Amino acid sequence: MKSIQKPIVIVGAGFAGMTFALSLKNLYPSLPILVVDSEPNFIFKPLMYEVLSKEIRSWEATPKFANIFSDAGITFLRNCLTKISFKDSILEFSDELKLSYQYLVICTGSIPNSFFIKGVDENCYFFNDVHDLNKLNSFLKESQDTASHKKLFIVGGGPSGIELACKIKDIYTDQFEINVIEKSNEILNKNKIFNREQSEKALEKRKINVILNSTVKEVSETKISISSEVGITSLDKDIVIWTAGVKPNLSFLETDQITKKFGRILVNNNLQIENHKNCFAIGDISVIEGMEDLPITAQVAMQEGNHLANNFELLIQGKDSLPFEFQDNGEMISLGIGEASISGLGVTLSGKLAFEARRLIYASKLPDITESLKSASSWIFEKKSIFKKFLKKDYSN
């Protein structure tokens, strides 16, 4: 590729950054690429529920970046971005390293959003990364040896809340009384109808209590306060898991440094940051002008990573390229141990067959991410031959 003097710098190696880095390297093998991430391991977030239930082992869903990138011939640096000077094209990191860039791709993902609600940051568990997973796992395991019917609240009736509720109920049958609190009048209100109906059945079957039209006002060490049309109710709690929303992970940006929309970096349909044509933002941290309704998912993040790699040469030459277009390949929801629901591309499927199809569909996507992840994921590759027909349907990218 012409006119490149320095490595392409990618900060954040989740679904967006990893896909972009590997696709770009595949297209231009001699191009120098530097990937920086604050963590040592990739995390395949949709499989975090299966790590919790021990249906897969932790290392299968969290391969080491160093292995993935060295296999691909890409340089990996573990460091945490703390500041960007767009004017001087310099990145600053937590160990005071400074790095100049010619082309920058930012993809640092999301963090939980507690919406400044009193006590949430201090008194809730989260389920967004490997640290949250380990912390929650420790609490749940420790609870096994103490009294049963502990009061567990999950705030947020989106996919994370529902998947987590079903999984925890199946692992710890009588240990917890599970309540899902949702502010709207139905769970999964942004998801496919089929998946919502299957989820409602799964929750009912497991006697998981769903509290609709209710918002959390405060979480203390021992209580959770919920506001609904009947007023404010304060309930005893043993644990609250917060899955009520995410916000972009942008702590390295100064206020008003660049244009944002809904708190996320605004990019054009070439995924370029306004007024900084050599800088791109992809995945959960960005919003595309005119495509504000796109879901915040791995599916979108990976498609953006692939799209940017395919157009990169044209973009740096200042030539026209095709704008990003999202292809909705359907959605999958895990519903307890060994069960799931799938909807999209004209196919709906639920129960055990959907569970097997879901893991096979993920397996079919893994080689796109990395060969090392593929070889590590023995669990996912079992029974591959049975589900060839589902692999023809592309759900996760």
Ligand X SMILES: Cc1cc2nc3c(=O)[nH]c(=O)nc-3n(C[C@H](O)[C@H](O)[C@H](O)COP(=O)(O)OP(=O)(O)OC[C@H]3O[C@@H](n4cnc5c(N)ncnc54)[C@H](O)[C@@H]3O)c2cc1C
Residue choice 249, 306, 343, 377 for contact with ligand X (CB under 6 A): 249
Q: How far is the CB of 93 from ligand X (least distance, A)?
A: 8
Interface with ligand X includes 345 (CB under 6 A)?
no
Residue choice 9, 10, 24, 37 for contact with ligand X (CB under 6 A): 37
Closer to ligand X by CB, 107 or 226: give it: 107
Q: How far is the CB of 357 from ligand X (least distance, A)?
A: 13
Rounded Cα–Cα distance for residues 26 and 368 (Å): 11
Residues 110-149 that bind ligand X (CB under 6 A): 127-128
Among 102-110, 177-185, 307-315, 366-374, which window interacts with ligand X (CB under 6 A)? Answer: 102-110
Tokens of 103: 């082309």
Give the N- to C-terminal CA distance of the chain in Å, as an integer: 27
Residue choice 191, 299, 350, 372 for contact with ligand X (CB under 6 A): 299
Interface with ligand X includes 14 (CB under 6 A)?
yes
Residue indicated by tokens 């929650």: 136
Among 220-228, 273-281, 290-298, 308-316, which window interacts with ligand X (CB under 6 A)? Answer: 290-298
Interface with ligand X includes 297 (CB under 6 A)?
yes
Residue choice 181, 301, 309, 340 for contact with ligand X (CB under 6 A): 301
- Give the SS3 label for residue 288: strand
Name which of 91, 107, 110 is nearest 99 in CA terms: 91
CA distances from 351 to 47, 173, 338, 376 (A): 17, 19, 8, 26
Interface with ligand X includes 170 (CB under 6 A)?
no
Residue choice 35, 56, 107, 166 for contact with ligand X (CB under 6 A): 107
Alpha helices in 53-158 (DSSP H): 58-61, 65-72, 120-123, 130-143
Residues 181-240 that bind ligand X (CB under 6 A): none
Closer to ligand X by CB, 225 or 284: give it: 284
What is the helix (H) or strand (E) element at residue 321, kind and residue range? Answer: none
Answer for the pair 246, 284: CB distance below 8 angstroms, yes or no. yes
135-170 b/e (C-beta count within 10 Å ≥ 16 → b): ebeeebeebeeeeeebebbbbbbbbbbbbbbbbbbb
Name which of 342, 286, 282, 291 is nearest 309 in CA terms: 282
Among 22-30, 44-52, 228-236, 373-381, which window interacts with ligand X (CB under 6 A)? Answer: 44-52
Among 103-111, 215-223, 233-241, 379-387, which window interacts with ligand X (CB under 6 A)? Answer: 103-111
- What amino acid occupies position 359? R
Residue choice 17, 119, 156, 330 for contact with ligand X (CB under 6 A): 17
Interface with ligand X includes 252 (CB under 6 A)?
yes
Interface with ligand X includes 38 (CB under 6 A)?
yes
- The number of beta carbons lying within 10 Å of the beta carbon of residue 235 is 14
Q: How far is the CB of 231 from ligand X (least distance, A)?
A: 33
**Site size for ligand X (CB under 6 A):** 31
Answer for the pair 1, 313: CB distance below 8 angstroms, yes or no. yes
Interface with ligand X includes 12 (CB under 6 A)?
yes
Residue choice 55, 60, 284, 368 for contact with ligand X (CB under 6 A): 284
Rounded Cα–Cα distance for residues 33 and 12 (Å): 13
Closer to ligand X by CB, 14 or 344: give it: 14
Rounded Cα–Cα distance for residues 277 and 271 (Å): 9
Answer for the pair 76, 65: CB distance below 8 angstroms, yes or no. yes
Phi, psi of 141 (to 5 degrees): -65, -45
Interface with ligand X includes 39 (CB under 6 A)?
yes
Rounded Cα–Cα distance for residues 159 and 243 (Å): 9
Q: Give the interface with ligand X as residue ranges (CB under 6 A).
A: 11-17, 36-39, 45-46, 48, 80-81, 107-109, 127-128, 160, 249, 252, 283-284, 296-299, 301
